[in-house]
Amino acid sequence: MKHFADTAQIFIKAGNGGDGAVTFRREKFIPKGGPDGGNGADGGDVYIRATSKLHTLYDFTHKHKFLAENGEPGRKRKQFGKNGEDLFLEVPVGTIVYRLIKPDEDTEVEEEEVMPPQLEKIADLTKDGQVFLAAKGGVGGRGNDTYKSATNQTPMQYQEGGVGEEYDAVLELKVVADVGLIGLPNAGKSTLLSVITDAKPEIADYPFTTLSPNLGVMKHYDERYVLADLPGLIEGASQGKGLGDEFLRHVERTRVLVHLIDPLYEDPIASYKIIRNELGAYSKKLLEKPELVVLTKKDAQHNDELFDNYSHQLQELGVDRVMNISAVAHDGLEELKLAIVDLISQAPEEVQEESIESSNPVFTIDDLKSF
């Protein structure tokens, strides 16, 4: 099983173009043939392709350098070289690509001043099959045959192949899911995911059992919905406490939130406020997401008065709907699934992100085939 990784820094380089050739036609009975040096070939491009078959950037944590093939040089008899093979890097859906911009070494700065590198967002791959042209290969150089003229019958000129684009890139994965399961540690998120989806997350009776997002697919008639069990948050997570804010980024890509609270081990009202405060501290936009609050472990609650009391208090805080379930006893799960589907139907189709301006295009596989 691969470990989860949601960030990686890599170096990518497109292939260089091949040099043009300097050759002359030399055959029997043609001792002084003209120039026949062919053009060099183009270097291979580097593409980054999103696939739903991957869920982590782990493959990029042990290999960091990715080079496309160089184009071959031109040949005699006006033959072109062979183009360099394109390189395709596959990443999970939800991967953002940044160009790492380092300070100009020629820039004069104070001796004690430190210029940190900057990140420029250049692609956001949110759909399966989406392809981004990350680095363009160099153009092949001209052979001496192209320099022939009336005044220059034996040109020795040729053109070197162009240099392929290269840079350091940072990959960041934000899980794309219909539903984000949130709550304090041990709220029952992993247990719920295991009984309403096909996922098999680790479940244990200690905090922070979930150390990375777990994904599962919930089936409802002919529809399928992706649920993400996000690691438990604690007070101060937005400032790096507990597992820190590194997993809060995954909440951004979920369409709706299901907030789980264990009323037996926590004060539900205080628990709710802690999570909402941490979401808002990370990004106010997270507070705008449709939310369903669910009290867990109904089978261990002694009477309905406990739920009714907490439900009333939560509704006073602005919560539209509070549900009571037991994942272990499978009590209330069908009603919960219906409520989740209803919540999703009212949510925006896609999570809107800031627009990205890039000189390199993003397209689908079908677009690529038409080139």
> Alpha-carbon distance 137 to 160, whole Å?
14
Contact status, residue 190 vs residue 229, Cβ threshold 8 Å:
yes
Consult the annotation and say whether 329 binds a ligand: no
Q: Which of 69, 79, 25, 22 is nearest to 45 (CA)?
A: 69
Are the CB atoms for 177 and 257 separated by under 8 Å? no
- List the structure tokens of 202: 């680790």
368 is known to lie in a ligand binding site: no
Residue 186 annotated as binding site? yes
115: helix, coil or strand?
coil
Reduced to 3 states (helix: H, G, I; strand: E, B; else coil), residue 58 is: helix
| Start-to-end Cα distance in the chain | 37
Q: Is 243 labelled as part of a ligand binding site? A: no
Q: Is 283 annotated as a binding residue?
A: no
Determine if residue 5 is labeled as part of a ligand binding site.
no
Tell whether 117 is in a known binding site: no
Query: Is 328 annotated in some ligand binding site?
Result: yes
28 annotated to a ligand binding site: no
Q: State yes or no: 92 annotated in a binding site.
A: no
In angstroms, what is the C-alpha Rg of the chain?
A: 29
Both tokens of 111, joined, read 């001796």
Contact criterion met (CB below 8 Å) for 218 and 334: no
Residue with tokens 């599962």: 216
Closest C-alpha to 93, from 135, 63, 48: 48
Is residue 327 part of an annotated ligand binding site? Answer: yes
Is 297 annotated in a binding site? The answer is yes
Q: Is 345 helix (H, G, I), strand (E, B) or coil?
A: helix
Contact 65, 106 (CB under 8 A): no
24 is in an annotated binding site: no
Query: Is 155 assigned a ligand-binding role in the annotation?
Result: no
Query: Is 183 known as a binding-site position?
Result: yes
- Does residue 370 have a known ligand-binding role? no
Binding-site residues for GTP:
183-190, 208-212, 229-232, 296-299, 326-328
Binding-site residues:
183-190, 208-212, 229-232, 296-299, 326-328
Binding-site residues for Mg(2+):
190, 210
